[in-house]
């Protein structure tokens, strides 16, 4: 969209790098993102050379030529996560560089936190499901590449995979978090491809202490490659992403609290949910000490439609929604995902919506569909 001019003219780009080689090549930092695009499109470039970034990052990156706009696109020749199709450096014409700014600012790191019981139970359900899929022949014994969103729940799932029956794991994802570092360190995962790190304080310390061991098993690419639909679909990724809430038909809200307050961005979850072989969404069944149900009649904001949610997991259970019509999806989600404190109210809503008239493909009571959110805003609880 920047290249198309949809945000206006890009006059100056500020790009962080780890260093500059004697030949003038730029060593990318722990996040590649869209820096190659900013360098290409901007009139002028300011380089921020960050000495906090480990020098051992050099060689970890795979910077390939940018994907051109239609009709000039060509196939992206990545057939497995370990494939490299570019060079380890960014390049910028020297005449574009108007300043070089030294810094030693560390990456932002989230506080380290222990895995809670709900996350462990969610991880157990995912492991059981993947094991079942292998036994049924719908997944190979060596799983397709994993994609994992950021958060405590997905970290717990990754930790569980480390002790599961799945050898030679790989990852093709947007960000690498603590759980993937642990899998790489143990040898359970052989390679991880991403565009950046998203680590806790402990994860940052681990990366810096063991980067020599990690550098040949981690590939950092431009975001338009790490999240590219063509590659995701070709590799058959298994996508695992957190969410704020799901409704009884499988629509997913990943970003907004009570419809209007933005909690976080969508990240790469949309790219992977729409194109992966299997799209799994994860959340505890309740929030705010049980006053909020994360399974609701209708989500207050939609990031992923029911067509892109194959499996929804809470600590209560895991329904496989593939191939089910809306009413059966709703019953499966209520039975296996909803917390018992909210399950009967959800069942009552579905039963009444189903009986209000014939021929209803996706039954809803429009006067009540968002009443759970309204009740929370007015009363501090979704409970009737």
Determine phi and psi for 274, rounding to 5 degrees: -75, -20
Cα dihedral 38→39→40→43 (10° resolution) = 90
Annotated active-site residue 174? The verdict is yes
Cα distance between residue 192 and residue 83, in whole Å: 11
Cα distance between residue 142 and residue 131, in whole Å: 11
The residue to which tokens 């298994």 are assigned: 238
The residue to which tokens 């239609």 are assigned: 70
Which residue in the list 3, 16, 58, 174 is annotated as catalytic? 174
8: left (phi over 0), alpha (psi -120 to 50) or beta: left
Cα dihedral sign, 65-69-74-80: positive
Residue 219 tokens read as 């590939």
The helix (H) or strand (E) run that includes residue 376 is: helix 371-379
C-alpha distances out from residue 319 to 7, 270, 328, Å: 41, 21, 10
DSSP character for 321? -
Closest by Cα among 37, 25, 35, 26 to 67: 37
Strands (E), the chain: 12-20, 26-28, 44-50, 97-103, 146-148, 169-172, 175-176, 189-194, 196-197, 218-220, 238-242, 245-247, 252-253, 256-257, 261-262, 278-282, 286-287, 292-293, 295-296, 311-313
Kindly list the catalytic residues: 174
């Amino acid at each position: 969209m920047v290249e198309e001019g949809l945000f206006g003219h890009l006059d100056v780009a500020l790009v962080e790098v780890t260093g500059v080689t004697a030949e003038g090549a730029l060593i990318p930092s722990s996040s590649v993102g869209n820096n190659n695009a900013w360098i290409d499109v901007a009139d002028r470039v300011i380089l921020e050379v960050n000495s906090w970034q480990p020098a051992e990052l050099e060689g970890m990156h795979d910077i390939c030529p940018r994907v051109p706009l239609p009709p000039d696109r060509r196939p992206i020749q990545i057939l497995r996560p370990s494939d490299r199709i570019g060079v380890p450096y960014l390049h910028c014409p020297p005449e574009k560089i108007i300043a070089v700014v030294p810094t030693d600012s560390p990456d932002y790191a989230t506080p380290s936190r222990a895995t809670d019981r709900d996350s462990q139970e969610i991880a157990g359900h995912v492991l059981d499901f993947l094991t079942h899929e292998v036994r049924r022949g719908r997944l190979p014994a060596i799983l397709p590449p994993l994609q994992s969103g950021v958060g405590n729940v997905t970290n717990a799932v990754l930790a569980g995979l480390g002790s599961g029956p799945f050898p030679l794991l790989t990852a093709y994802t947007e960000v690498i978090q603590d759980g993937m570092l642990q899998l790489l360190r143990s040898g359970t995962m052989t390679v991880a491809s991403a565009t950046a790190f998203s680590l806790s304080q402990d994860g940052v310390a681990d990366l810096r202490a063991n980067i020599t061991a990690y550098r040949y098993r981690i590939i950092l690419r431009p975001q338009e490659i790490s999240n590219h639909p063509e590659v995701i679909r070709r590799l058959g990724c298994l996508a695992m992403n957190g969410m704020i809430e799901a409704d009884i038909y499988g629509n997913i809200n990943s970003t907004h609290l009570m419809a209007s307050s933005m909690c976080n961005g969508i990240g790469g979850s949309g790219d992977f949910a729409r194109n992966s072989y299997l799209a799994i969404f994860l959340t505890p069944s309740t929030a705010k000490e049980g006053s909020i149900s994360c399974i609701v009649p209708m989500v207050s904001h939609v990031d992923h439609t029911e067509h892109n949610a194959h499996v929804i997991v809470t600590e209560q259970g895991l329904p496989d929604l593939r191939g089910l019509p809306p009413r059966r999806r709703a019953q499966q989600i209520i039975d296996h995902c909803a917390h018992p404190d909210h399950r009967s109210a959800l069942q009552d809503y579905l039963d009444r919506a189903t009986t209000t008239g014939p021929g209803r493909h996706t039954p809803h009571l429009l006067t009540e569909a968002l009443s759970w959110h309204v009740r929370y805003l007015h009363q501090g609880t979704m409970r009737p």
